[in-house]
Amino acid sequence: MKLDLEQIKDLIPHRDPFLFVDTCEIILPGEHGKSEKYFSKDEFFFSGHFPNNPIVPGVIIVEAMAQTAGIVVSYKLRDYKEKSVLFMSVNKAKFRKPILPNDTVKFEVKFLNSVRDVYKFEGICFKDDTKVSEAEFSAMITYK
């Protein structure tokens, strides 16, 4: 199932300028998904990170992975309308190559495990076919 931006907005609360996923493919609901993001030269963070040498900040890359996992889990739990996905931790983050203005990157996330309402995922970011970053992260699902 390939989700467009409006379908993504139905699943997670993030909005511009802090939504870092343009499309998301749900491969296995709750467990595996792939997303894509085009980082235009006009992104708000490029003017300060860094002047005359803009690159996407590592925290934005990890956030995009976490948003992708949030979409994958929220898609599985879409019948529960009153829920939140809260980022809890990040581990083993590695940044191998920079992401530049006007780059399109792909994120892939895979479920590792869960304990109660805490889900742990691994994520990888690719530019073309090159792995540019990776991380493990966890989030808690809360229901209202």
Please tell me whether residue 63 adopts helix, strand or coil conformation.
Answer: helix
Query: Is residue 76 within 8 Å of 32, Cβ to Cβ?
Result: no
Contact 104, 37 (CB under 8 A): yes
- Is 49 noted as a catalytic residue in this protein? yes
Of residues 70, 66, 123, the one with CA closest to residue 89: 66
User: Which residue's structure tokens are 């970011």?
Assistant: 125
Amino acid identity for residue 86 in this structure: L
Q: Which of 23, 25, 45, 49 is catalytic?
A: 49
Catalytic residue positions, numbered: 49
